[in-house]
Structure 1
Amino acid sequence: MLHFIKSFDFVNPQRIGALGLSMGGAVAGMLAGDCKEDTRAICLWVPAGNMKDIPLKGKLIQEIDDSYEKGFIDFNGFSLGVGFMKDVMTLDILEKSSSYDKQALFIHGNKDDVVPLSISQTICENLWKSRQASCN
């Protein structure tokens, strides 16, 4: 993705940032962690670092087993493919996002019932440990 963005003449490769909301926040955080040298700053808006838990929350074992037969799991009316879910289960979103070492802004409310504030706090605290800064 970064290679594609950097291919445009109007893009200054020294000023690329990443912003994402929810799953996009998780992706932006992992991208920044993997490509530190190409990412100047990030803004993570309710980053879904708990993505592997969200679609399965409240599901019965039988529902999960049935989803493998159907090829998808229903999540609030959205069909998430089994392949997608298997991929999500292999990701360590918090670890990848926490390895980023440049400017970061977190936007997260304390009444979110899908992605708890503790997810952003964990990423922020891990990200800033080496800088001896705070996450307030």
Structure 2
Amino acid sequence: MVGGSQGGVVSALAASNHPQDIEGLALMYPAFSITHDAQEQYSSFDQVPKTHDLMGFTVGRNYYKELLNMDITKAATKYKGPVLIVHGNSDDIVPIKYPRQAAHNFKSVHFIVLRNAGHGFYGKDLKLALRDLDEFVENEN
């Protein structure tokens, strides 16, 4: 299973909840800061407006319901199979400390830092990330 950003965290949650269905997990710039960001913005669910603009996407109030009471790192790192995390050290949306913390919780993880890469990979960073993903898939089969 492969996911990027918020999709990376959703993939990690799915793998943690359904490990028997997952042979390997690859996370590209995973948004393990998502609960921290939500909790910084709103101290309680009562403060959350009916809709909210989240990086250009409109999300409803229920988006925050679980995030405000969750430790995403704990909930999404229970998967015990092979995990690849690729993250840029210049990511200004998800600071590298969050996926690093998550990496410590996985049983079998390969953590790769792309120097000077931001959130979302483009150009040479995308090529490097895809190479790392190809190697991960080949080594796990």
Specify the alignment match of 2:25 in structure 1: 42
Q: Which has the larger radius of gyration?
A: 1
Amino acid at match of 2:97: S
Let me know the Cα RMSD of the aligned residues: 2.6
Normalising by structure 2, we get a TM-score of 0.65
In the TM superposition, residue 91 of structure 1 has moved relative to its aligned partner by 3.4
Residues 134 and 108 of structure 1, relative CA distance in 2, 3 Å threshold: closer
Per the alignment, residue 14 of structure 1 pairs with none
Question: What does residue 22 of structure 1 align with?
Answer: 5
Superimposed CA distance per residue, residues 12-71 of structure 1 (whole angstroms, 9 cap, x where no aligned partner)? xxxxxx1111110000011111111211100011111121233575x698xx94x52xx1
Q: Percent identity?
A: 25
Count of residues in Structure 1 that have an aligned counterpart in Structure 2? 110
Question: Structure 1 residue aligned with 2:14, among 22, 31, 36?
Answer: 31
Which residues of structure 2 form unaligned runs of 5+? 113-141
Q: Sort the Cα spacing of 1:134 and 1:103 in 2 relative to 1 into closer, same or farther, 3 A.
A: closer
Are 1:87 and 2:70 matched, yes or no? no
Counterpart of 1:6 in structure 2 is none
Gapped regions of structure 1 (runs ≥ 5): 1-17
State how far apart, in whole Å, the 1-side matches of 2:33 and 2:18 are.
21
Cα distance change on mapping 1:33 and 1:20 into 2, 3 Å: same
- Counterpart CA distance in 1 for 2:13 and 2:78 is 9
Moved over 4 A (4+): 133-136
What is the DSSP-based 3-state SS (H/G/I as helix, E as strand, rest coil) of the residue aligned with 2:88? coil
